[in-house]
Amino acid sequence: MKTQVAIIGGGPSGLLLSQLLHRAGVDTVVLERKTKDYVLGRIRAGVLEQGFVSLMKEAGCADRMERDGFPHEGTQIAFGETAFRVDFAALTGTPVMVYGQTEVTRDLYAAREQMDGKIEYEVENVTIHDADGDAPCVTYAVHGQERRLDCDFLAGCDGFHGVSRKSIPEDVRREYEKVYPYGWLGVLSETPPVDHELLYSNSERGFALCSMRNENLSRYYLQCSLDEKVEDWSDAAFWEELKRRIPQQFADKLVTGPSIEKSIAPLRSFVTEPMRWGRLFLCGDAAHIVPPTGAKGLNSAASDVHYLYHALKDFYASGDERGIDGYSAKALARVWKVERFSWWFSSLMHRTADQSAFDHRMQMAELEFLASSEAAQRAMAENYVGLPY
Ligand code: FAS
Ligand code: PHB
């Protein structure tokens, strides 16, 4: 089989890139390791930057998001019993969109199917060949049947555990990593959100986040230690701890109920450079990971897709290679700013066992400054709503 762009990974990055390129007349094939239902079963991001919303509109996939999504013009931040609001609309003129990654992925799959986009599921043994040559290809198997896909370019959209990044020779790759000494225990419950906006809370017992998917579907997170297991946490224990980590005014109105999903995610910051090797381009989690505190994982995948889509569209339209030659540097310039914000916000909101009394005072002073300074809140808001592409 032959295509113009072989896309490895059928998560949000791969699907969005495939949809955008298809609408621009560029042929793609998406190779996905899992089934569609498995991919849709993942509970992940919940907050989209305006840039992502615009990209979904450009891809012709934003109708349901615009109908069912919730524009949020601010967020609440709490430390101890103090809570304050960062007003995105007043400080930046831009809201964010609360709409789950699961729904984004559902919309993208629906759009691909509507355009008869080529997606191969349950692929195995995906191997990239000749990425640094002129005739790259991918070999793989489906239900034991060996296949080969010849292509002009390869997009590695296969996430942190995929094969694309590792296909770049170790002596070419430079990797940067910070592993955080805590994880996030997440719960999804069919209960009304505790407030109409998100609440990020730094308490002496640890971080908590109150988020949502819709008026009767709430998403909550608690900072947890890396040796904890989901089975260590009953629903009752989770709700009890959450109430102790948010200001009383919110705890008093928290509506609890049975969890319909419960999981623990480790937190890391990670970047690989370069994001291009020959005809292979890395996108999204295949190239970089952020702690979810700043809601940037999915959103930085979107900016990579934006850059790569325009680069490949220009190449096929006019042979212009400036976009593909500049892709890695351009994507990484934004990635590193997103990494900084995600690291900063995580460091500000989480407590660690090795935190000295001085470190704690610094954290409290930074929160007091953020609570009282419009300039500090504007800087935070500019990063949270999304830096320009
Ligand atoms: P993805 O990992 O989503 O998709 C990669 C796809 O490639 C997967 O479908 C995988 O099955 C497939 N694949 C892997 N190896 C393959 C192979 N060899 N061959 C073919 N296919 C292969 N971000 C936020 O903004 N907020 C959050 O709260 C948040 N929570 C998260 C929780 C968890 C547990 C994780 C892991 C991530 C979370 N993220 C969050 C980040 C997440 O949303 C990612 O940024 C987003 O999924 C990135 O999308 P992709 O780059 O498409 O990678
Ligand atoms: C979520 O709703 O899953 C979510 C929202 C904001 C974050 C992280 C996760 O910063």
Mention every residue, 6+ apart, whose C-beta is less than 8 A from residue 356.
none
Q: What is the CATH number of the domain that holds 377?
A: 3.30.9.10
With 0.95 as the threshold, say if the pTM is over it: yes
Nearest atom within ligand 2 for CA of residue 200: 10
Asked if residue 148 has pLDDT above 90, the reply is yes
Q: How far apart are CA 52 and CA 300, in angstroms?
A: 9
Q: What is the pLDDT of residue 114?
A: 97
- C-alpha 258/C-alpha 223 separation (Å) is 20
Whether residues 155 and 50 share a domain: the answer is yes
* Cα dist from 342 to 251, 303, 349, whole Å: 26, 16, 11
pLDDT score of 177:
98
- Give 140's strand partners: 147
**Percent of the chain, pLDDT > 90?**
98
Is the Cβ atom of 293 under 6 angstroms away from ligand 2? yes
Q: Domain for residue 226, yes or no?
A: yes
Give a yes or no: residue 88 inside a domain.
Answer: no
Q: Evaluate whether residue 78 is within a structural domain.
A: no
Residue 307 near residue 330 (C-beta atoms within 8 A): yes
Residue 186 and residue 208 in one domain:
yes
Q: What is the CA radius of gyration of the chain?
A: 21
Residue 166 lies in domain: 5-72+95-177+268-346
User: With a 6 A CB cut-off, is 193 part of the ligand 2 pocket?
Assistant: no
Assess whether 309 and 341 both reside in one domain. yes
**Domain match, 262 and 118 both:** no
Q: Please tell me whether residues 235 and 190 are part of one structural domain.
A: yes
Residue 366 lies in a domain: yes
pLDDT band for 98, please (50, 70, 90 cuts): very high
Rounded distance, CA 91 to CA 69, Å?
22
What's the pLDDT band for 382 if we cut at 50, 70, 90?
Answer: very high
- 29-74 pLDDT tens trace: 999 999 999 999 998 999 999 999 999 999 999 999 999 999 999 9
What pLDDT score was predicted for residue 74?
98
Inter-helix orientation angle 322-349/297-318, to 10°: 170
User: Is residue 218 domain-shared with residue 164, that is, in the same domain?
Assistant: no
pLDDT at residue 100, as a whole number = 95
pLDDT at residue 14, as a whole number? 98
Mutate to test the pocket of ligand 1, among 298, 304, 308, 384 (most ligand atoms within 8 A of CB): 298
Which amino acids are annotated catalytic? 72, 200, 292, 296, 384
Residue 80 lies in a domain: no
Extract the tokens encoding 290.
Answer: 């952020």
Question: Are 148 and 170 found together in one domain?
Answer: yes
Q: What does the pLDDT average to over 270-277?
A: 98
* CA–centroid distance, residue 11 to ligand 1 (Å): 6
Residue located nearest, by CA, to atom 7 of ligand 2: 295
Report the pLDDT averaged over residues 141-164.
98
Q: Is 84 a domain residue?
A: no
Query: Which residue, 92, 161, 153, is CA-closest to 387?
Result: 92
Residues 17 and 100 both lie in one domain: yes
Mean pLDDT of 356-362: 96
Cβ of residue 9 lying under 6 Å from some atom of ligand 2: no
CA-proximal residue: ligand 1, atom 4 (nearest): 11
Asked if residue 219 has its Cβ within 6 Å of ligand 2, the reply is: yes
Measured from the Cα of 98, ligand 2's closest atom is: 2
Q: pLDDT averaged over the chain?
A: 97
CATH of the domain at 144: 3.50.50.60
Any domain includes 90: no
If asked whether residues 227 and 357 sit together in one domain, one would say yes
Task: Note the Cα 302 to chain centre separation in Å.
Answer: 8
The reply to whether 275 falls in a domain is: yes
* Structural domain count, the chain: 2
Kindly give the number of the ligand 2 atom that is closest to the alpha carbon of 212: 2
| 273 and 263 within one domain | no
Res 62: pLDDT: 97
Q: Find, among 44, 32, 40, 38, the residue nearest to 8 by Cα.
A: 32
Total Cβ atoms within 10 A of residue 195: 17
CB of 211 within 6 A of ligand 2: the answer is: yes
Per-residue pLDDT, 65: 97
**Upstream peptide bond of 292 is cis (omega within 30 degrees of 0):** no
Q: What is the mean pLDDT of residues 287-311?
A: 98
120: exposed, middle or buried (C-beta count within 10 Å: 0-12, 13-18, 19+)?
middle
Does residue 226 share a domain with residue 263? yes
Q: Does residue 62 share a domain with residue 12?
A: yes
The Cβ-side half-sphere exposure at 116, using a 13 Å CA radius, reads 1
Ligand 1 pocket residue status of 313, Cβ below 6 Å: no
DSSP alpha helix (H) spans, the chain = 12-23, 36-40, 50-58, 63-68, 88-92, 101-114, 235-245, 248-251, 297-318, 322-349, 357-372, 374-385
How large is the average pLDDT for residues 226-235?
97
pLDDT at 43: 87
